[in-house]
Amino acid sequence: MSPIRSPDGSSPPSRPANSPVSEPGPAENGPPPRPRAPQPSAADTSAPEGTDSAERLGADARTLDERATREMSAQFEDEKPGRVLTGPAGLLLTAAALAVAALALWQVFRPLSQGSKYYLIFFLAGVLPLVFLAYPANLRLRFRRRRPGDTGPPRPVSARPTATDWVLVALAVAACLYPVLPMPLGSGGGGYNAFLDRQGLLAPMDLVLGTVLLLLLLEACRRATGWILPAVCLLFLGYGYYGGLLPQSWPVAHAGLDFSQLVDAFYNSDSGFYGTPLDVAASYIVLFTIYGAVLELSGAGRFFVDLSAAAFRRSRTAAGRTAVASGFLLGTVSGSGAATTVSIGAVTWPLLRRAGYPPERAGGMLAAAGVGAILSPPTLGAAAFIIAEYLGVSYLQVLGWATAPTVLYYLGILLSVEIDARRSGVRPVVIDVGSPWRLLARFGYHFASLIAIVGLLAVGVSATRAVVVATLLAVALSFLDRAHRLTPARLVAALVTGVRGVLAVTAVCAAAGIITATTTKTGLGPQAATLLISGAKAATSNPTLVLVLTALLAAVALSLLGLAVPVTASFVIGWVIVGPALIDLGVSAPAVAMFVFYFAVLSEVSPPTALAAVAAAAVTGGRLVPTMWQTLRYALPAYLTPIAFVITPAGLGLLGIGGAQRIAFAAVVIALSVAVLAVAAGGWLPGVGPAGAPERVLGALAGVTLLWLEPVAVTVGVALAAVAAAGVLVRRQSTGRAGRPRAGSSANLREEKP
């Protein structure tokens, strides 16, 4: 691409596109510098065609930019950054990762005859040891000696696997493979069938190795995601063991389980370590992460961003639209909110800065657009596959349920972008890119594999086979681009990257078995549902209001839960604890599943953690707390739309359920609700002018009322929205001001305090 220009043709002073970003050293007692994203590819200077050396230099520069972006993305994922292994440890990890990938692919076309659980045992045996190689313990951080002239903060010593790590690797292999050990070992061992026959009456060796695996999974989760999820698992474990000591009059009390019963439930049942979450990780997620790595290395990510910039290059709000469209398209590759935020921010933040967006507002836009990656078909987050397994439906059905809410989510962000452009007077930015049609003609083949997934699912091909075929297609098509062709070495890198991407998810999914097994054994799900419903009934006896209050309490609980644990674990816990309450009140299972899914995902933009907002603030250099509040403003409609799934039967239309008339009615009404809420949050009615406090309050009431998809509520909501719009029109006429502030005004560009 050519450099970005202002409309007058002048070029801004800037560093070269691929020059390193230098940060001043911190003050003696000041904080360390904020990590910064690699600088833009939207302002890249392309090498002239026809010279191999220029092409190689351009490709090398792009590779460095992409590598820096990936490294920064890792800092803001649900999981912690892993080690970069070299030498024998690196070779071992590469070989093991290739073996895991080969096993996953083999299981798609030649499933192991002993069944799914047998496969899961080998999959976990291949993945869990790699967690201890790839993720350091970080219990004690050692620093290297400071040298004269070092001005920055001390850096940790390069971590390599320690002796303890290798011991944990050996224990993980032994504990995972013990159920299939063919030889007797005391009163245990004896092969897979003998292990299953001892269900409910474990041998001492079974109990020992089951306990070892329990501790290893907790440590693997701690290394990969932090302390909170292991603490939650221990809380459930303690509840299972000590729950019998609670007063039996309490709703959550139970008869009590001894430790051997708990280990049996975890190690030798279908609801424990080898339950549905791990099955999803081993059967679906690993294949989709490999597919995402293949697409990324084949250049699809860069193409999607370039296409977004080209599509809106002549628009007055080109910068904002490009960021939102890039988030949507990159979501089809990434499936990670924080990673997508960093990727689009590295490219579009220079555009937003030139347009006059303050760092906090730009960061909020980037974070909200990036989180949409987890909501965007066809590669939704891991929880979407768990929904398909829990409900016994095809993955295509889950994609259908997610389509309309995803469109509404991005509609809300786009409307907010348009409102901000008019309210803040952002400057138009001309992006010197080629025609989008030319880009599509040259690189449009990147869409082929995505279309292939949906097409194959539509004709009845399983999701696992569909993604494998799409991966092979993406590999073949990569040879159409010399800079991104997947040679054998790059293909190995893609496979290893894909397997590494599933390490933390696998640890989380296996540990989630502690939660699901404890809930199943103790009956906590129905008890918690009764407690939640009783709390709502304490406030009102009206069945409709009970449902609304229960949904609101569930939304708050899920939002708080999502602040502490990764999205996948948040969904599993929410499904087994909150889900039964809504189902008991007559809400359909698909609506409950999508309700829990959306609030689990939105934890990435919810203060005070808001991983995506933290990543965006690192990219833009903005203040963290204002960036979080701006993110919340952009994503506001997404917090309210899931409520419509559950409070009225008409909300099923948003999920594509209930016939064409219901679907159309729900989509139009909720689109109006999203638009009104965007106006209320942004304080501007496009085409008219600024909205005052009374009009914004009326608009917020209208948007919330429209969520109740019943004729009377819709009529009232439309009337309130009309009154609010009329108030904005009257305000404009009475003040005599133009409907848009003067572009470039420093007063208009000043960031609002949250």
pLDDT band at 249 (very low <50, low <70, confident <90, very high): confident
Using CA atoms, how far apart are residues 638 and 630, in angstroms rounded to an integer?
14
Closest by CA position to 216, among listed 481, 608, 473, 514: 514
How many residues are given for the chain? 754
Closest by CA position to 709, among listed 648, 637, 664, 641: 648
Higher pLDDT, 696 or 270: 696
Partners of 189 in beta bridges: 184
pLDDT of the residue at 143: 41
Q: Is residue 691 part of a domain?
A: yes
Q: Is residue 666 part of a domain?
A: yes
Q: Is the model's pLDDT at 565 over the cut of 80?
A: no
Ranges 68-82, 398-412, 450-464, 723-737: which has the least confidence:
68-82
Residue matched to tokens 């001894």: 258
Instruction: Answer for the pair 2, 433: CB distance below 8 angstroms, yes or no.
Output: yes
647-668 pLDDT per residue, tens: 888 888 989 888 888 899 999 9
Percentage above 70 pLDDT, the chain: 81
Q: Is the model's pLDDT at 387 over the cut of 70?
A: yes
Domain count, the chain: 1
Which residues, 6+ apart, have CB-to-CB distance to 329 below 8 Å?
304, 305, 307, 308
Q: Is residue 326 part of a domain?
A: no
Which residues, 6+ apart, have CB-to-CB distance to 412 below 8 Å?
634, 635, 636, 637, 638, 674, 675, 677, 678
**Cis amide leading into 48 (omega within 30):** no
User: What is the end-to-end Cα distance of the chain in Å, rounded?
Assistant: 36
Q: What are phi and psi of 13, to 5 degrees?
A: -70, 130
Q: Is residue 711 part of a domain?
A: yes
pLDDT band at 159 (very low <50, low <70, confident <90, very high): low
Ranges 80-89, 276-285, 484-493: which has the least confidence:
80-89
Using CA atoms, how far apart are residues 200 and 269, in angstroms rounded to an integer?
9
Instruction: Answer for the pair 705, 720: CB distance below 8 angstroms, yes or no.
Output: yes
Q: If phi over 0 gives left and psi between -120 and 50 gives alpha, with beta otherwise, what is residue 154?
A: beta
Q: Is residue 709 part of a domain?
A: yes
Token pair listed for 615: 């990543």
Q: Containing domain of residue 686, as a range? A: 654-736
3-state secondary structure 84-109: CCCHHHHHHHHHHHHHHHHHHHHHHH
AA identity, residue 273: F
Q: Is the model's pLDDT at 71 over the cut of 60?
A: no
Average pLDDT over residues 286-302: 88
518-529 pLDDT per residue, tens: 988 888 888 888
Instruction: Answer for the pair 310, 45: CB distance below 8 angstroms, yes or no.
Output: no
pLDDT band at 314 (very low <50, low <70, confident <90, very high): low
Instruction: Answer for the pair 506, 281: CB distance below 8 angstroms, yes or no.
Output: yes
Using CA atoms, how far apart are residues 433 and 428, in angstroms rounded to an integer?
15
Q: Is residue 199 part of a domain?
A: no
pLDDT of the residue at 534: 86
Instruction: Answer for the pair 167, 199: CB distance below 8 angstroms, yes or no.
Output: no
Q: Is the model's pLDDT at 456 over the cut of 80?
A: yes
Average pLDDT over residues 702-727: 92
Using CA atoms, how far apart are residues 2 and 633, in angstroms rounded to an integer?
33
Token pair listed for 674: 């999203």
Using CA atoms, how far apart are residues 579 and 591, in angstroms rounded to an integer?
10
pLDDT of the residue at 174: 94
Q: Is the model's pLDDT at 121 over the cut of 90?
A: yes
pLDDT of the residue at 168: 95
pLDDT of the residue at 80: 56
User: DSSP letter at 34?
Assistant: P
| Model-wide pTM > 0.75 | yes
Q: Is residue 721 part of a domain?
A: yes
Higher pLDDT, 735 or 513: 513
Ranges 51-55, 181-185, 215-219, 712-716: which has the least confidence:
51-55
User: DSSP letter at 81?
Assistant: P
Instruction: Report DSSP letters for 291-326, one per residue.
Output: HHHHHHHTTHHHHHHHHHHHHTTTSTTHHHHHHHHH
Token pair listed for 540: 């009102």
Q: Is residue 712 part of a domain?
A: yes
